[in-house]
Amino acid sequence: MTDQLIANQTRDAASDALPGLTVRLDSFPRGGVAAVFGASGGIGSALSVALTDSGRFDTVLGFSRGMAPAFDLTDEDSLARAAEQIAEAGEVRLVIIATGMLHEGEALPEKSWRELDAERLARAFAINATGPVLLMKHLLPRLPRTGKAMLAALSARVGSIGDNRLGGWYGYRASKAALNQLVHCAAIELARRSPDAICIALHPGTVATKLSAPFASASGVAPVEAARHLLAVVDRLEAKNSGGFYDWGGTPVPW
């Protein structure tokens, strides 16, 4: 199946799924565990609900800093414990890392190099790249060796180097670009262990969440709509697509 065919079929499926219908996720073996990290966020909570409604998995677990079970992207021990908890619940079939930081407190994304700050850059990389790849470290070895399984990390189109025509947002762009490379590296290693498994980066589009709220020009779709589009992509991707970076419609995004 070509990337463009995936994109066309995914758009059709996503449109059919709205409104009121769930994505069935029939491409996954029935049973097992799905998990969402960042489950208290706008997209993460919508993904958790949609995964539960699909009825495909025996268990759907959500992890967030502000809810039990809690986790901290800057604390590897907590990430290891979360991975262990998922594995104890059953076969790990789908993990979605729906975490990310565009701004924090009063510190908005940098518009110019004059605003660059070492601590802010380190924080962006810790949340957007280092934390997610440490989750991959503990979760990818737990994916089944046979049958479709997937780890998907939410990235952003602004992390695309090839698509960057405006500049600015240094820390967010660079840390998401790093995440894309880390996903690609992990996918290559994963294929040697679990040839049916998939590791991908997904761009959800502009979604009406707290992340985009400070930017007046951001007119986003509702989180529930974004979740259904993303899961339609998840349902259609195959092992040969592992390591790719796809938008909410299933179209590959330039690196």
Strands 59-63 and 245-247: unpaired
- Taking CA atoms, 195 is separated from 143, 144, 190, 244, in Å, by 11, 10, 7, 15
In angstroms, the CA 153 to CA 133 distance is: 9
Lay out the sheet containing 92-97: strands in order across: 59-63, 33-37, 92-97, 149-154, 197-203, 245-247
Other CB atoms within 10 Å distance of the CB of residue 226: 25
b/e burial code for range 190-214 (CB count within 10 A of at least 16 → b): bbeebebbbbbbbbbbbbbbebbee
* DSSP code string of 170-221: HHHHHHHHHHHHHHHHHHHHHHHH-TTEEEEEEE--SBSSTTTTT-TT--PB
153-208 confidence digits (pLDDT tens) = 999 999 999 999 999 999 999 999 999 999 999 999 999 999 999 999 999 998 87
In the chain, what are the domains? 3-247 (3.40.50.720)
91-117 confidence digits (pLDDT tens) = 999 999 999 999 888 789 999 999 999
Q: Which two tokens stand for residue 95?
A: 């993990």
If you count them, how many residues does the chain have?
Answer: 255
Q: Which two tokens stand for residue 91?
A: 């076969």
Q: Has this prediction a pTM greater than 0.95?
A: no
